[in-house]
Amino acid sequence: MAIDLDKIDDTILGLLWLTRHDERRAWKGFDWAALERLHQKGLIENPVNKAKSVVLSDEGLHRAEEMFRTLFTRQEP
């Protein structure tokens, strides 16, 4: 079975939106490899530090909200 890492990254980005606080910080309790990929894509700041949260970039903040709405909300009738 081939794993689509982009779909995993999009899902984690949506969940980062769910757990965000202080406007653009989000709890980083996710797979380290996925967080590193999001960092490489410029969507979050470097996750390797002592903080328990990561900072979403401007693009990451926009994309995280988009992924949250796409993956986790119902369309209104």
77 occurs within a structural domain: no
Q: CA nearest 26: which of 5, 44, 2?
A: 44
Report if residue 9 sits inside a domain.
yes
Do the domain assignments include residue 61?
Answer: yes
- Count of structural domains within the chain: 1
Condensed to tens digits (0 to 9), the pLDDT of residues 26-62 reads 998 999 999 999 999 999 999 988 889 999 999 999 9
Q: Report the percent of the chain where pLDDT is more than 90.
A: 87
pLDDT band of 77, cuts 50, 70, 90: confident
**Read out DSSP for 47-72?**
--SS-SEEEB-HHHHHHHHHHHHHHH
Segment 6-34 shows an average pLDDT of: 94
Q: Which residues of 41-74 are buried (b: 16+ CB within 10 A; e: fewer)?
A: eebbbebeeeeebbbbbeebbebbbebbeeeeee
CATH of the domain at 24: 1.10.10
Asked if residue 19 is part of any domain, the answer here is yes
Provide the pLDDT for residue 69: 95
Q: Does the global pTM surpass 0.85?
A: yes
pLDDT at position 75, please? 83
Q: Domain range for residue 66?
A: 5-72
Within a domain: 47: yes
Q: Is residue 21 part of a domain?
A: yes
